[in-house]
């Protein structure tokens, strides 16, 4: 149901939660990735290192405050894959169609993410246990 509503989404990025952002960045640099862009996202309580990975991105996330979704994820599950993101052309319209199809939205309206991307999250209960982020692309 989700792919039809998204209208052929493309993989946009993968988010990975880590304890130590500097150590994780060093590991990914050793793997051959270039220097990441680093962002503080105060409204989400995270610091993010974003690497270009071909046409997509890899985001390394670490919590900056204890009471956020990322902090709770890290405390409960440890380091690892946090979310997968897909690019969509009309984020607001996609959210409306998904809600009408019964998909549980975390964000009913788009909000701003890193790189000034317009983003929204879908609840893992509606996505096979995976936190899905939608990113509006041109």
> What's the mean pLDDT in 46-73?
95
Res. 8: pLDDT tops 80: no
Query: What percent of the chain has a predicted confidence (pLDDT) above 90?
Result: 86
Rounded-to-10 torsion of CA 27, 33, 35, 41:
-70
Count structural domains, the chain: 1
Residue 3's pLDDT is: 47
Q: 100-134 burial string, b = 16+ CB within 10 Å, else e?
A: eeebebeeeebeebbeebbbbbbeeebbeeebbbb
Prediction pTM value? 0.88
Mind listing the pLDDT tens digit for each residue in 82-123? 999 999 999 999 999 999 999 999 999 999 998 889 999 999
Residue 7's pLDDT is: 60
Instruction: Residue 20: give its domain's CATH number.
Output: 3.10.180.10
Mind listing the pLDDT tens digit for each residue in 21-51? 999 999 999 999 999 999 999 989 999 999 9
Residue-range definition of the domain harbouring residue 45: 2-136
Answer whether 46's CB lies under 8 Å from 121's CB.
no
């Amino acid at each position: 149901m989700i792919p039809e509503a998204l209208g052929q989404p493309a993989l946009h990025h993968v988010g990975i939660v880590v304890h130590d952002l500097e150590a994780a960045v060093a590991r990914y640099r050793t793997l051959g990735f270039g220097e990441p862009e680093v962002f503080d996202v105060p409204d989400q309580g995270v610091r993010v290192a974003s690497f270009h990975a071909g046409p997509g991105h890899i985001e390394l996330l670490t919590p900056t405050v204890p009471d956020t979704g990322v902090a709770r994820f890290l405390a409960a599950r440890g380091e690892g894959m946090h979310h997968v993101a897909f690019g969509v052309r009309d984020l607001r319209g996609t959210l409306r169609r998904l809600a009408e199809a019964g998909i549980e939205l975390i964000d009913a309206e788009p909000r701003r993410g890193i790189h000034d991307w317009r983003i929204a999250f879908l609840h893992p209960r509606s996505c096979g246990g995976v936190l899905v982020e939608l990113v509006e692309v041109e």
